[in-house]
Chain A
Amino acid sequence: MKLRHLLRDILHNRGQAVIFTLCVALSMVSLVAVNSLRRDVRGVIAEDAAALQGGDVIVRSGGEFTPALREELARVVGEGLATATTAWEFHSVARREGGEAVLFSNIKAVSGGYPLYGTVELRSGRPFAEVLRPGVVVVGQALLDRLGLVVGDHLLLGEGRLQIVDVVVRESQRPVEFFTFGPRVFMSEGDLAATGLVGKGSRTSYRWLLRLADPGAAETVAARLQARAGEGERVASAATSGSRIKRFFDNLLFFLSLIAVFTLLLAGIGMQSSLAALLRRQVKTIAILRALGAGNRHILGHHLGLVLLLGLCGVILGIGGGLVLKGAVFQLLAGLLPEKLTLEASFADLLQGLGLGLTAVLFFTFLPLAGIARIKPAAIFRKETAGGLRRAMPRLALLLGLLLLSAVVVVQLDDVTTGLWFMAAVLVLVAVMWGLAHLVLGGLARLDISSLALRQAVRSLSRPGNASRTVVVTLASALAVLFSIYLVERNLRAAYIESYPADAPNLFFLDIQKDQREDFIDFVGGKAEIFPVVRARLLAINDREIDRRREVERRGDSLSREFNLTYRDDLLADEKLVAGKGLFGGNRAPGRLPPVSLLDSVVEIGDMEIGDTLHFSIQGVSLKAEATSIRSRTRSLLYPFFYFVFPEATLKAAPQTFFAALKVPQGEASLLENRVVSRFPNISPINVGESAVELGRLMAKLSLLVTFFASLSILAGGLILVGSILATRLARLEEAVHYKILGGDTPFVLKVFGLENLVLALQSGGAALLVAQLGSWALCHLALDISFRPYPLASLVAVGAITAVVVALGLLASLSVIVKKPGAYLREHSS
């Protein structure tokens, strides 16, 4: 009986029931997709860590390994605890024999036995270890395509000439390194010396990979090796070794989580709005039930059952939709995901989705449900009013609900501070939108509008039961986020990719040795800008040691990595001093620590200030310096910048290489790269123009993903709009009948309804654009430190497009009202 009564109520209010269910589903879709993908990625990274990292234990260094570590490793291998292989990795240009074509490539020189774990799949289908012999290379298809080579041709690497014998189809470790530019080239470690590419101070990643006889002993072996490791040498087990892929996915999924939680909140407003509309239609029924003696427990229980039944349907739909969305993300990120990652749904996905969904349902439906208790039997005799369910807001319960929701957000984001900031930001955004909606709707109501249709449309916005303000707040909030993402992405693209200035250098050369410096400058015609580079690690700030474990977990740049120090006495053209007296604090008393100038970005990372003592280690040599100034960059270019700048006297004697920046016509860049590499094989060129294109491609892919997720939040606004139209269907029908009885024709009725939605859309779009422009400006200026362009035309087109969609949606939902004959309405409502 009870279930039948529930189903009858649902059928009777099917429009709002569908909107409510869709809102619940929408709140779940992106959360389920993100959580499921995160669980899978983390699971694969953890389970398949050895294959992704290449060994049970990984030993890394930015330079050649110290003898002590070599000896210890030899002992570990000698004791039968492990087998080891090496993988030296660096970037250099590969050249086509007999041609001028060059290509910046990602070269990996490996020893026998590689790979110890995972696979390198070749097009021939033959085992990698059998194919990669001295004197040959195995390359990525992209290299063949871009250099116009085929298998069997020869490739020039530095001074080496190696034959291409096969093509890499898939590499299990490759996703870990997907941010490295350029196609892959595998070569034998034995050929490395002949190429002359790896020299002292060159930018090579040295890696030993160990396969243990007992993989369970990974931590013990890693600790044993770490005990003998020198500075800059890091030993980690596969499970604890941080990887780029983990960091990348942590960051990406964290950002998607933010958007998903935002969608949840907006869809939650939709749940609240549609349930309130559904309950408004139930007021008379509830009043009759009360008059017949039904108590609060019975009535609340019945409606709670209704909410939970619809909520459950929504959650199931949401979980299904989330898994479909996950599949789409899977497709979009194909090539970046670990190869063992397969598309599947786990029980944990279902359980977490169910928990999250029902929590959201209970929170967002609490307010309308609480309003039921206030409906009196006397409501039978009164005409239903919109206000009946409002003001039933037990503040303590609301506060508790907010705390619960904040806790869910914090758990979802896995970060207390960000979670709380995020909740605060969303509340502020909603409050701002609410304020703007209140101001504009209030102002419009007071306007003396001469056009009859427009006046009627504006007046209709405040018809009883209309959720105009809720529609504007949700639509505007969702659009503001979407516009902001668009604006920031366009500005980032403009700053780093599109507007690469004509006078900026477009070709960089790395690893120029001290004795090559003058030759190099002569060779390129003296037009290079040269920067000395001293590799160092930061050990402590004010004697407080850098917590490397914590730094590794940090989201952005970290203090645990190796830094490039430089020396010079002046600011660069794109720098300005924001604190301090000159770069090095003017005249300094003898005996004081050497000065160092800091870039503002590193100041933020390390929470540093002028006067702090920074303790560096330059290849084992200790250097303490006092922070004397803070610099900032005035333009954001792909242009060299250094966190730490010292006076020449301090670093002149340190081991160093040089970095050169040149501006050459793009058409001549390849030729110069080729000539430089032929003359100085150890020097690595970077063609910034090409890198920018590659970066642009990746950005476009990620931007598409983020935009898609953000677009889902707009659906919440759309659902609320349709819900609002359904909730006021009777009022609209009555209006349409009035217009027709009084002589209004269909175009007039269409005009009024169309204008009403137009006002809503323009207000939402306008408010969103205003907030997005201000927010993006602040983000670009204050956080990203790039110049801001408002893209007015694109913004207006976006507002126009969303307006068209809202007006069309509104008219579509009102169509059944518009075509109704007045007589039919009067007959149906004559009683």
Chain B
Amino acid sequence: MASPILVGERLCKSYVRGGRKIQVLDEVSLTVDKGEFLVIAGSSGSGKTTLLSILSGLDLPSSGRVILAGRDITGLSEDQLAPLRNRQTGFVFQAFHLIPSLNALENVMFPAELGKDPEARAKALALLQRVGLTARAGNFPEQLSGGEQQRVAICRAVINRPALLFADEPTGNLDSRNSEGIVELLLDLHRNQGTTLVMATHSPALAARADRLIRLHDGAVVPSADRTL
């Protein structure tokens, strides 16, 4: 039996906006096993991105806790979370979030350089070659198409070979041809490197290929045996 790499226990998240309390997550619990490909599905506003943010340690839950690789990360400070984000997890965003002042190569190298990896450049070049962007290594984000930017973002997310990769609607801003390429790339990484993949998506094609799917509705997990979205 596979051991869990990520556990979310009774996660709640609420905000106060304009004097009104908004409950985004309500007692969400889940477990992700090592090497698993989990899809979090749900309509817009159901709390997918918030759940992903909390599970990856980018945000704090109002209550509940997150255990990553056996360690409770809920109470960790930003500086305690930094090495975890750098080595154990990777994140791919819908809006890419590349650093605009760095070119493609530098963007990919960045996490490895932060970890003082002397092979950062070589690894980044190899990844870019793998995604077919060697010729675009010197280009800045604004000079790349959406699909190219997302490929760079994926390379950046995996350069330190994280055990866990979070992806938030990675194909949400892409056309179908680019989406397909990105999906293949993510699944390839998941299969070949054994990376655990936790993805929030609207894509039925992606959901169909997941090991498991959980569905959110109004911030709560709803039972579903059906993988269709």
Q: Is B113 an interface residue (CB 8 A)?
A: yes
B58 to chain A, nearest CB (A): 4
Please state if B85 and A743 are interface contacts (CB–CB under 8 Å). Answer: yes
| Chain A residues, CB < 8 A from B50 | 827
**Assembled-state Cα–Cα distance A743/B156 (Å):** 12
Q: Is B179 an interface residue (CB 8 A)?
A: no
Closest to B81 in A: A740
Q: Is A452 an interface residue (CB 8 A)?
A: yes
Among listed B35-43, B96-104, B144-152, interface-contacting one: B96-104
Please state if A827 and B110 are interface contacts (CB–CB under 8 Å). Answer: no
Q: Is B138 an interface residue (CB 8 A)?
A: no
Please state if B82 and A745 are interface contacts (CB–CB under 8 Å). Answer: yes
| Chain A residues, CB < 8 A from B86 | 742-744
A94 to chain B, nearest CB (A): 74
Q: Is A687 an interface residue (CB 8 A)?
A: no
| Chain A residues, CB < 8 A from B53 | 822-823, 826-827
Please state if A745 and B59 are interface contacts (CB–CB under 8 Å). Answer: no
Please state if B97 and A738 are interface contacts (CB–CB under 8 Å). Answer: yes
**Assembled-state Cα–Cα distance A297/B225 (Å):** 61
Closest to B84 in A: A743
B50 to chain A, nearest CB (A): 7
Please state if B59 and A741 are interface contacts (CB–CB under 8 Å). Answer: no
Mask for A740-760, Cβ within 8 A of B = 1, else 0? Answer: 111111111000000000000
Task: Out of A731, A734, A744, name the residue touching B97 (CB < 8 Å).
Answer: A734
Please state if B101 and A462 are interface contacts (CB–CB under 8 Å). Answer: yes
| Chain A residues, CB < 8 A from B97 | 734, 737-738, 741
Mask for B101-137, Cβ within 8 A of A = 1, else 0? Answer: 1100010001101110000000000000000000000
Closest to B101 in A: A459
Please state if A463 and B101 are interface contacts (CB–CB under 8 Å). Answer: yes
B26 to chain A, nearest CB (A): 17
B154 to chain A, nearest CB (A): 13
Which range holds the interface residue count of chain B? 20 to 34
Q: Is A824 an interface residue (CB 8 A)?
A: yes
Please state if B79 and A746 are interface contacts (CB–CB under 8 Å). Answer: yes
| Chain A residues, CB < 8 A from B156 | 742
Q: Is A821 an interface residue (CB 8 A)?
A: yes
Q: Is B78 an interface residue (CB 8 A)?
A: yes
**Assembled-state Cα–Cα distance A364/B53 (Å):** 45
Please state if B114 and A744 are interface contacts (CB–CB under 8 Å). Answer: yes
Known: A452-B110, A827-B49, A827-B50. A744 touches B82 (CB 8 A): yes
Known: A462-B101, A824-B59, A826-B49. A740 touches B78 (CB 8 A): yes
| Chain B residues, CB < 8 A from A460 | 101
A405 to chain B, nearest CB (A): 35
Q: Is B163 an interface residue (CB 8 A)?
A: no
Closest to B120 in A: A452
Closest to B102 in A: A459
Q: Is A464 an interface residue (CB 8 A)?
A: yes
The A445-471 residues at the B interface (CB cut-off 8 A) are 452, 455-456, 459-460, 462-464
Task: Out of A456, A743, A823, name the residue touching B87 (CB < 8 Å).
Answer: A743
Task: Out of B82, B93, B100, B106, name the residue touching A743 (CB < 8 Å).
Answer: B82
Q: Is B7 an interface residue (CB 8 A)?
A: no
Q: Is B221 an interface residue (CB 8 A)?
A: no
Task: Out of B58, B79, B84, B113, name the residue touching A823 (CB < 8 Å).
Answer: B58
B42 to chain A, nearest CB (A): 14
Q: Is A830 an interface residue (CB 8 A)?
A: yes
A822 to chain B, nearest CB (A): 5
Q: Is A489 an interface residue (CB 8 A)?
A: no
**Assembled-state Cα–Cα distance A690/B102 (Å):** 64
B82 to chain A, nearest CB (A): 4
**Assembled-state Cα–Cα distance A738/B152 (Å):** 14
The total of chain A residues at the interface (CB under 8 A) is 30
**Assembled-state Cα–Cα distance A748/B114 (Å):** 9
Please state if A452 and B114 are interface contacts (CB–CB under 8 Å). Answer: yes
Please state if B111 and A821 are interface contacts (CB–CB under 8 Å). Answer: no
Closest to B160 in A: A743
**Assembled-state Cα–Cα distance A619/B126 (Å):** 98
A455 to chain B, nearest CB (A): 8
Q: Which residue, A463, A464, A823, has most C-beta atoms of chain B within 10 A?
A: A823
| Chain A residues, CB < 8 A from B49 | 826-827, 830
Mask for A810-826, Cβ within 8 A of B = 1, else 0? Answer: 00000000000111101
| Chain B residues, CB < 8 A from A455 | 106
The B185-215 residues at the A interface (CB cut-off 8 A) are none
Q: Is A9 an interface residue (CB 8 A)?
A: no
Closest to A455 in B: B106
Closest to B77 in A: A746
| Chain A residues, CB < 8 A from B93 | 826
Closest to A825 in B: B58
| Chain B residues, CB < 8 A from A746 | 78-79, 82
A732 to chain B, nearest CB (A): 11
Closest to B91 in A: A741
Q: Is A694 an interface residue (CB 8 A)?
A: no
| Chain B residues, CB < 8 A from A785 | none
**Assembled-state Cα–Cα distance A134/B97 (Å):** 94
Mask for A461-497, Cβ within 8 A of B = 1, else 0? Answer: 0111000000000000000000000000000000000
Q: Is A735 an interface residue (CB 8 A)?
A: yes
| Chain A residues, CB < 8 A from B155 | none
| Chain B residues, CB < 8 A from A823 | 53-54, 58-60
Please state if A464 and B100 are interface contacts (CB–CB under 8 Å). Answer: yes
| Chain B residues, CB < 8 A from A462 | 101
Please state if B115 and A452 are interface contacts (CB–CB under 8 Å). Answer: no
Please state if B58 and A741 are interface contacts (CB–CB under 8 Å). Answer: yes
**Assembled-state Cα–Cα distance A407/B121 (Å):** 58
**Assembled-state Cα–Cα distance A745/B115 (Å):** 11
Closest to A747 in B: B79
Please state if A741 and B79 are interface contacts (CB–CB under 8 Å). Answer: no
Q: Is B83 an interface residue (CB 8 A)?
A: yes
Q: Which residue, A464, A821, A826, has most C-beta atoms of chain B within 10 A?
A: A826
Please state if A743 and B79 are interface contacts (CB–CB under 8 Å). Answer: no
Mask for A236-276, Cβ within 8 A of B = 1, else 0? Answer: 00000000000000000000000000000000000000000
Please state if B78 and A821 are interface contacts (CB–CB under 8 Å). Answer: yes
**Assembled-state Cα–Cα distance A635/B181 (Å):** 81
| Chain A residues, CB < 8 A from B99 | 456, 735, 738
| Chain B residues, CB < 8 A from A830 | 49
Closest to B93 in A: A826
Task: Out of B82, B101, B160, name the residue touching A740 (CB < 8 Å).
Answer: B82
Task: Out of B59, B84, B115, name the residue touching A826 (CB < 8 Å).
Answer: B59
Known: A738-B99, A743-B86. A822 touches B58 (CB 8 A): yes
**Assembled-state Cα–Cα distance A463/B49 (Å):** 28
Please state if A742 and B100 are interface contacts (CB–CB under 8 Å). Answer: no
**Assembled-state Cα–Cα distance A827/B51 (Å):** 11
Please state if B59 and A452 are interface contacts (CB–CB under 8 Å). Answer: no
B221 to chain A, nearest CB (A): 20
**Assembled-state Cα–Cα distance A460/B106 (Å):** 13
Q: Which residue, A735, A748, A827, has most C-beta atoms of chain B within 10 A?
A: A827
Closest to A737 in B: B97
The A739-781 residues at the B interface (CB cut-off 8 A) are 740-748
| Chain B residues, CB < 8 A from A740 | 58, 78, 82, 85
**Assembled-state Cα–Cα distance A462/B101 (Å):** 7
The B1-54 residues at the A interface (CB cut-off 8 A) are 15, 49-50, 53-54
Please state if A456 and B101 are interface contacts (CB–CB under 8 Å). Answer: yes
What are 13 contact pairs spanning A and B, CB under 8 A? A459-B101, A731-B100, A734-B97, A741-B58, A741-B97, A742-B85, A743-B86, A745-B83, A821-B78, A823-B54, A824-B59, A827-B49, A827-B59
| Known A742-B86, A743-B160, A827-B59; further 15 A-B contacts with Cβ < 8 A | A452-B110, A456-B99, A738-B97, A742-B85, A742-B110, A743-B82, A743-B84, A743-B85, A743-B111, A745-B83, A746-B78, A822-B59, A826-B93, A827-B53, A830-B49
Question: Closest 6 CB pairs between A and B?
Answer: A743-B86, A823-B59, A745-B82, A459-B101, A823-B58, A823-B53
Which residues does B use to contact A, with CB under 8 Å? Answer: 15, 49-50, 53-54, 58-60, 78-79, 82-87, 91, 93, 95, 97, 99-102, 106, 110-111, 113-115, 156, 160
